Structures are given as structure tokens and as C-alpha cells.
Structure 1
């Protein structure tokens, strides 16, 4: 038996959309402690690790661990039919997932499950030297500014400063951030670092989650993966996103 009810649809919409940016099929693992997802894109450059504790749900029942395999695009299409104030309830029914939207009236969908993945994806074992916490929407806007001229962003950090740069056929863009910027929560630089990453990949994940995550932690080191940590809602939902660097 598995039942999970959320007070609003926003978190499911955002998280499902984020996952759909890297995989076509997703396996969620529900345990008595909550829901987890970990998956990597086919090219092995992007990874999402989700921890959704049971305390974040209005109602949560899971007597034993269960794996739920979904075609994520189909799930996203259904979950986006929910209105802003709808409660969303998921329940396993034999080989299907029953999805209920409840507000002034109740709507139900039955989504056929697929064979879940049995193999596990390990997390990168890396130590990163630069960490900046800032407003998620601000980071989205800054990267949009860079994408006007470039498909990649060069991120560098030194002392109490982080710099975003992009260069392409049309020109060059540079943005310098430090602790005086009102949207910067904190900057912690242990060692000067510089690396380049794909802008479309970063913007896909950030734009998916900016509506439900107020702040994002950005961690990286020279020629190492970037790690984005999104705190979602007020009840301890964590989504970590890793992206491999572009090596010229």
C-alpha cells in the first residue's frame, strides 16, 4: 500500500518537470520514510538526486519499500492538469498509479506503470571548493543574460566573488557577484576555481524549480561537476543536480 497526498500541486509539477529534463523513464522509490529518486541522463553528464521526506506530505502511507516506474512525460502531462489549489493524491493500484486532484470537485486519472529500474546510480564522490547561495530566480535571470551571447557559461570564483561569463559570435557577457549583492545569501571560497558548463542544461533545471525553491546552493571546483542544491517548500524536500563540466 502506498498513498501520498500533497496540499498543493506546485511541488509535483516542478519536480516532475525537472526530472523530465534528463530522463524519459523514471523510477521513484517509496519507503516508510519518504520518496526518493536518483537518475542520470543517457549521455551521463547530468544527474538528479531527490529526497522527499514523509513529513512534507499531508498524508503519507507506505508499509514497505516499493519502486514505481513511470514514463515521466506522461506523468508531467497529467500532473500539469492540476489547478494551483488542488490537493494531489497518488496511490498505487495493481499495475497502475491512481492520481487524484481534489478541490471543489475530484478528478481521477489512472496511469499505467512501467518496469522499474533495478540498478542503482551512485552519487559523485567529489569535494568542491566554491559555494555560493543565492536567490533561485536571480540565478535564472543571470544565466538568461549570459545565454543571449553564449551556449556555455564560464564560472570562476576567488576570495568573496563569483563571476559568470559567456562568449559567442555575437559578443561577450560578464557578470560579477559578491556579498554586496542583495540576492547573494552567502559566498564561501576555499580555493580559486574556474569551470565551464552547458547553459541549456543549467537553465532547464533552474527554470523548472524556480517557482518552488527560493534559494539555490551553487558548488563547483576547477574542471569538476557543478552541484546545485534546491531546498523545496518548508518541509525538507531536497533536490540535488549535478552537471559535468565542458572540457575544451
Structure 2
């Protein structure tokens, strides 16, 4: 038997919003430790990795490890039926071919349940190597989303350059070029608004704006985002989900082609 209850069902709605543009279906692996998801996007350009720890749930029971293959479009339709303040319980039997989502209003006066068919998905588990990154940048997630959105109007690719002076986001296209520079904040009272850069060596890489904009769908989950970069390895964009886990997106850099 698997059962997980979240007092803030809205967290799962936001998680789904954050991944459903990249993935149409995914396997949720449930164990004693919590729920994990790892999948390449449909075009095999980026990787999504999500962890929701069991201790972050109000109630969590998993008698034996189960993997639930879900169609995320269907799951999204079900979660849209939940009120933002509803409690959410996910239940499945050990060898079940369906999963049940139950929503309860805070006053317990309304309880609704939805059953969804599970899918058998062949998804290989990709080992993500432990990497020491040359640069990590922590910044407000809303600021990162705005930069990605603004710069994608100028070009299809965005250069992220991290130096000891700060981090620079730049792009160029038919109408011209755009640059945004952020310096490390010296004294900020609010952690959420800080820009913190840890750098061992400078890194400059180019990424597809389209994917960065997909990643920023997770902005509502966290007030801060962390970018980790090293030469020749994928960028990691991480959003921590308060008290329960994180979503990480991995995106391979574009190989610069000489135009001339």
C-alpha cells in the first residue's frame, strides 16, 4: 500500500506546472525515502529530476517500492480540480493499475476523489554523476525568470558568463543585442533578494532560451534559484521546495558554431 498526504496540495499542482511542458509522461518512484522522478524531456535535450522527501508529507506510508507511470496531462487535469487550500492524498495498492487522488477542503465538508489509470513506461534510470561545479549562482527566482523571458525576445540562445565581477546574461539576434549584469549583493537584509556567487574559476556557456523559460515555470515553488555551471557539463537549475525537496533541471550547453 502506498499513501502520501500533503496538507498543502497546491505544492503538487505547482510541481506539475513546472514539469508538464517538458514531459508528457513520467514515472514516479515511491520508496520509504519519498517520491522521486527523473526523466529526459521529449526532445532529449534536458533532464528533469525531482525529489519529495517522505518527512515533508503530513502522512507517508510506502510498504514496498512502487513505480507509477503517469500521463502528466491527465494528472494535470485532475489536480486542476483541487482547491488551492485543499489537502491532497495520493493512494495506490501495491500492484495497482490505478492511482487515486483525494482532495479534502480544510473544513472537511467537501471530499472528492479521482482515479487515474497508470501506464507502463520504459524509462531508463540515468545516473547523474556527482559534479563539483566551478560556479554556483544563487539569485531571486523571479529575477531569473524575468531575465530569461526578456532576453528570449532578442535571440534563441543566451550566454551566461560568471566572473568574479558578477554574472552576465546576454543574447543577440536580428533586432540587436541585450545584456543583463548582476553583481553580487553585499548587504541584503532579506535572503530571498540576495545574489550570491561562489566561483572557483570563470565559466561562460551558451544555452537555449526556450528550455530556460520552461525551467522558470518552477518559480512559484521557491523564492530563490541556484544555477551551477562548469565547463563542458550541463547547467543545473535548482529550485528548492520548502521543507520537502527540490526540482533540478539539467541542460547541456550549446556548442558554439563559428558563423564565419
Bin of the TM-score, shorter chain as denominator length: over 0.9
Compute the displacement of 1:26 (Å).
Answer: 0.6
Residue segments in structure 1 that go unaligned for 5+ positions in a row: none
Contact kept? 1:134, 1:186, Cα under 8 Å = yes
Contact kept? 1:157, 1:193, Cα under 8 Å = yes
Matched positions, count: 246
Distance 2:19 2:131 in 1: 22
Compute the displacement of 1:50 (Å).
Answer: 1.3
Compute the displacement of 1:229 (Å).
Answer: 1.4
In the TM superposition, what are the counterparts of 1:55-134 in structure 2 within 5 Å?
55-93=55-93, 94-103=96-105, 104-117=109-122, 119-134=124-139
Please report the TM-score for the alignment, with normalisation by the length of structure 1.
Answer: 0.93
Q: Provide, for residues 170-189 of structure 1, a one-character-per-residue CA deviation record: whole Å limited to 9, x for no partner.
A: 11110011113863341111
Match of 1:218 among 220, 227, 231: 227
**Is 1:143 the equivalent of 2:148?**
yes
Task: Please state whether the residue corresponding to 1:122 is helix, strand or coil.
Answer: coil
RMSD between superposed Cα atoms in Å: 1.7
CA spacing shift, 1:236–1:108, aligned 2, 3 Å? closer
Please report the TM-score for the alignment, with normalisation by the length of structure 2.
Answer: 0.89
Residue segments in structure 2 that go unaligned for 5+ positions in a row: none
Compute the displacement of 1:106 (Å).
Answer: 0.9
Distance 1:223 1:140 in 2: 24
Q: Provide, for residues 199-218 of structure 1, a one-character-per-residue CA deviation record: whole Å limited to 9, x for no partner.
A: 111111212x1112111110
Q: Provide, for residues 33-67 of structure 1, a one-character-per-residue CA deviation record: whole Å limited to 9, x for no partner.
A: 11111111243221111111111111111111111
